[in-house]
Chain A
Amino acid sequence: MIEAELSRSVQRWCPGATGVTGAAKLSGGASQETWRFDITHPDGPIGAILRRSPKGYGAAPTRAAGLAAEAQLMQLAYEAGVPSPRVMHVLTPDEDLGTGFIMQRVEGETIARKILRDDAFAVARPLLARQIGGVLAGLHRLPQDKLPELRSRNATQEISEFDRDYRSLNWPKPVFELALRWLRDNDPGPSAETTLVHGDFRNGNLIIGADGVRAVLDWELAHLGDPMEDLGWVCVNSWRFGEIDKPVGGFGSREELFAGYEAAGRRVDPARVKFWEVMGTLRWGIMCGGMMQRFREGPDHSMERAMIGRRASETEIDLLRLLAPRGG
């Protein structure tokens, strides 16, 4: 059904396009959907991806940058040579497709466990930690005067926001209290420099090919803040998928990540990176609690959501490993 609207759309902005085929929904929450499809073109089919909020879902959650900002950021990244899909078209109201954008499909793998285990990525894997450092350096250098309007958050504001989120769950967890205390005691304050922060840069949000990182996805949590936040988040144990001795997404070491970042001309502050890793671990734990709450209160009474609630304890053991490591 969506193919009719998509066909009309592509014929307007893609010269030579005659229609679309193979539209399939890849993922969809209530407010955001991702579709894949092929544009029929005399030069051969063009792989494309639609990211949209269907009609009637205008309001984005408070932390999200919004699809228009996401499209703008991806386009800026693409132009600056940061691996990113090319944005082909931003939806207009008369196309009847909701709000969002269409981008060129980048082939590769996003499933973290496959990237960490399949032979196809054996050559790329040992290079990824360093490469990711370079990609983040490029991302943090995107020209600020061209950025869309984004929320701005420093460490102190983030701590109080997570504190509030945690308390709203009414879910007393001594380990989370300990982490909140540690974060307050170790708050590094405003960073010397404020840059674009991707906000969800991790294994699972990257398209990886045999040659390495091909695209950075999911810019919806992009904001202005401490660039070290992205370096800390990519190291959170939850994104190592079992390869716990390789902090950077299960690929490699912090040293390689830092070397890649600094080789691209930017400075690393390891203490800040550690702060954001602790913050990120707690952040995912609180998100698990949010899943539990939504499971209980509906409307999504799914088993998956219930089980994600039970994953908060994973972040508790990781927080203890960070804050109260046992000898040896």
Chain B
Amino acid sequence: MQDEPTPIELTKAVADFLRNDITPLISGHQAFKLRVAVNILDLVTRQLTREEGSDAKEVERLRALLGVEGSLTDLNRALAERIAKGNVDLATPGLAEHLWATTMDKLAVDQPNYVSYKRELERGG
């Protein structure tokens, strides 16, 4: 087991330093790039915080939907293939719910301020 502080705590500390201490010192194109860098660190922090839980639920749903075992990547590949072949579609029980849950979990990490996501959250997650 690795020592502490955790990657989440470390990444957050770097992001806070760049945001609070460095941002006021930088201007122009470098300020834009700094903002992108801070956004990346924030995204990584969100992913480290949420990934384990959301991946576990995604695997569970995929196993139920497909009736096979496998890694998250394998299962996603299998689902993609079944949709491509027309073996699974929106009439398949559970597919729409699965895609919605998975996509909402992605947006929570990638772009929690995206308005489509916020609108769907208001609908109840």
Contact = CB atoms under 8 A, between A and B. Distances in A.
A218 interface: no
A313 B76 contact: no
B84 A314 contact: no
B77 A314 contact: no
A2 interface: no
A93 B91 CA distance: 60
Interface in B81-124: 81, 83-84, 86, 89-90, 96, 99-100, 102-104, 106-107, 110-111, 114-117, 119-120, 123
A164 to B, nearest CB: 13
B86 A181 contact: yes
A173 B99 CA distance: 10
A244 B43 CA distance: 23
A146 interface: no
A303 B40 contact: yes
A307 interface: yes
Contacts of A180: 84
A174 B76 contact: yes
Interface residues of A, number: 30
Interface stretch (A53-61, A127-135, A265-273, A320-328): A320-328
A145 B86 CA distance: 43
Contact of A313 (B37, B39, B103): B103
A317 B120 contact: yes
Contacts of A174: 76, 79-80, 83, 99, 102
A227 B36 CA distance: 37
Interface string A79-112: 0000000000000000000000000000000000
B33 interface: yes
14 contacts: A174-B83, A174-B102, A175-B103, A244-B115, A306-B40, A307-B40, A307-B43, A313-B110, A314-B111, A314-B114, A317-B107, A317-B116, A320-B99, A321-B116
Interface of A: 172-178, 180-181, 237, 242-244, 303-304, 306-307, 310-311, 313-314, 316-318, 320-321, 323-324, 326, 328
Interface of B: 33, 36-37, 39-40, 43, 73, 76-77, 79-81, 83-84, 86, 89-90, 96, 99-100, 102-104, 106-107, 110-111, 114-117, 119-120, 123
Given A244-B119, A307-B36, A314-B114, 5 more contacts: A172-B77, A175-B103, A178-B90, A303-B33, A310-B43
